[in-house]
């Protein structure tokens, strides 16, 4: 028999806060992290704004409790800070942690550090071990390093499925628990801003030079961001043994691929619709049971139209309240699903809906409107969280509040 999966703790760092408490305060105060790039050195500093964690690598090392000389990448440092908070949030002991599985997601990994060696790598006069430069660029490097630091040996994995990576990491962790491979696992992801990421998205011409406007008729693209977030997942059996309570149950999840385009969603929303429909079917809930949707909502023309159509097709002309929180944090790419899953936990714990900033006018093709103001005492019980990625991937998680 498949086991039930519960979330017992979480940690997050983003452009709107160094920890969960700071992130929550920014969400309810409608305080965005969007602005000039102050830490990353780039020629686009004054032309492409983003949502940056305003901490140098030295500061992040102090926050993470490690030395700068130990050579942690920025992706690993962000991950370590969020991971420590998640462990503390779930009140896990050292033995509990060492018996945990660990699945972390990233796409760029240590590419930010590799960029500093670009000129050397292109210089034919330079000699030395080329492969030594590539160690930190491996997406799995941060996962293995943090697993070693905490002596986690039960199960270790890295997921890299573009912007759905963290959501797929959480889904994989849930499947491992449900099928008795592990009893407890920490899942999420981390991503640091880099020149490669900024230049890549800029080349695709989907960056908004101003503040992004998800689901707005006049949306003009996304804002990038950086951060990390992790959830602690535990089986119903081990949770009962520990006599601790869960925050929420992960009752449904689904991952599909619309196979439409390398970097665009199917314009009719087929992938998003199917992912939400299958997550609902797995949970045994109906459309009327969903109280809120944390949308992927990047602010691009294609993504928001596809997701909006999918929501309207599944839920009708009056869907449940929905919003994108990306105007707060930027699109943290591989970390986005983890960050937004943490925001779903906060929503359930505080019974609060977070607004879709900058929305003015509904999309003409869809007509539905996101939540635009903070709503407290919202009566939240069941939440959907959507994440989509390049390559056609669409993943939905369904969280139900523990009563």
Judged against a pLDDT cut of 70, whether residue 261 lies above it is answered with no
What is the per-residue pLDDT for 63? 97
pTM over 0.85: yes
Confidence class of residue 174 from pLDDT cuts 50, 70 and 90?
very high
Could you say which of 61, 100, 187, 331 is catalytic? 331
Degrees (nearest 5) of the Cα angle 84, 90, 91? 85
Walk across the sheet containing 184-191 and list its strands. Answer: 155-159, 101-105, 184-191, 227-235, 5-13, 248-257, 393-401, 382-389, 292-294, 322-323
Mean pLDDT in residue range 24-34:
98
Active-site residue, selected from the candidate residues 187, 212, 296, 344: 296
Residues of the chain with pLDDT > 90: what percent? Answer: 83
Mean pLDDT of all residues in 237-241: 91
pLDDT digits (tens, 9 = 90+) for 367-403: 999 999 999 999 999 999 999 987 778 999 999 999 7
3-state secondary structure of 102: strand
Name the band, by pLDDT with cuts 50, 70 and 90, for residue 83: very high
pLDDT tens, position by position, 84-135? 999 999 999 999 999 999 999 998 887 777 777 666 666 677 766 666 656 6
- Choice among 100, 163, 187, 212 that is catalytic: 163
Whether 44 is a known active-site residue: answer: no
Task: Work out the widest C-alpha separation in the chain, in whole angstroms.
Answer: 66
- The pLDDT of residue 263 is 59
pLDDT score for 136: 65
pLDDT in tens, 126-170: 766 666 656 666 778 899 999 999 999 899 999 999 899 999 999
CA angle centred on 252, ends 249 and 257, rounded to 5°: 145
Q: According to the model, what pLDDT value does residue 111 have?
A: 77
pLDDT digits (tens, 9 = 90+) for 311-364: 999 999 999 999 999 999 999 999 999 999 999 999 999 999 999 999 999 999
Active-site residue 163, yes or no? yes
Give me the chain's average pLDDT, please. Answer: 93
Predicted confidence at residue 117, as pLDDT, reads: 63
- Tell me if residue 331 is catalytic: yes
Domains of the chain plus CATH, in order, are: 5-242 (3.40.47.10), 251-401 (3.40.47.10)
Residue of 382 and 260 predicted with greater confidence: 382
């Amino acid at each position: 028999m498949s086991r039930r999966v519960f979330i017992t703790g979480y940690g997050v760092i983003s452009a709107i806060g160094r920890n969960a408490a700071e992130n929550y305060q920014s969400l309810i105060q409608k305080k965005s992290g969007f602005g000039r790039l102050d830490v990353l050195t780039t020629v686009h500093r004054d032309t492409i704004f983003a949502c940056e964690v305003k901490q140098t690598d030295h500061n992040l090392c102090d926050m993470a409790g490690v030395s700068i000389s130990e050579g942690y990448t920025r992706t690993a440092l962000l991950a370590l800070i969020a991971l420590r908070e998640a462990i503390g949030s779930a009140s896990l002991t050292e033995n509990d942690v060492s018996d945990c599985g660990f699945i972390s997601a990233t796409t760029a990994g240590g590419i930010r550090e590799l960029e500093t060696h670009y000129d050397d790598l292109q210089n034919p006069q330079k000699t030395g071990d080329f492969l030594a430069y590539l160690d930190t660029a491996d997406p799995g490097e941060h996962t293995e390093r943090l697993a070693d630091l905490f002596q986690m040996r039960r199960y270790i994995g890295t997921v890299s499925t573009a912007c759905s990576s963290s959501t797929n990491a959480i889904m994989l962790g849930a499947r491992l628990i449900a099928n008795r491979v592990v009893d407890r696992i920490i899942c999420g992801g981390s991503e640091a801003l880099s020149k490669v990421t900024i230049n890549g998205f800029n080349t695709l011409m989907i960056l908004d030079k101003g503040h992004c406007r998800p689901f707005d008729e006049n949306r003009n693209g996304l804002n990038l961001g950086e951060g990390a977030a992790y959830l602690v997942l535990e089986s119903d059996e081990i949770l009962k043994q520990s006599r601790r309570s869960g925050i929420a149950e992960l009752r449904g999840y689904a991952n599909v691929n619309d196979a439409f385009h390398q970097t665009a969603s199917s314009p009719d929303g087929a992938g998003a619709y199917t992912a939400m429909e299958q997550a609902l079917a797995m949970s045994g809930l109906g459309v009327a049971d969903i109280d809120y949707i944390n949308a992927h909502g990047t602010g691009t023309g294609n993504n928001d139209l596809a997701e909006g159509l999918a929501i309207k097709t599944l839920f009708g002309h009056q869907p449940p309240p929905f919003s994108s929180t990306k105007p707060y944090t930027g699109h943290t790419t591989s970390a986005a699903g983890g960050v937004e899953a943490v925001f779903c936990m906060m929503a359930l714990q505080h019974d609060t809906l977070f607004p879709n900033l900058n929305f003015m006018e509904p999309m003409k093709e869809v007509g539905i409107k996101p939540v635009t103001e903070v709503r407290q005492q919202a009566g939240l019980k069941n939440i959907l969280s959507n994440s989509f990625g390049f390559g056609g991937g669409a993943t939905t998680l369904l969280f139900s509040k523990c009563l």
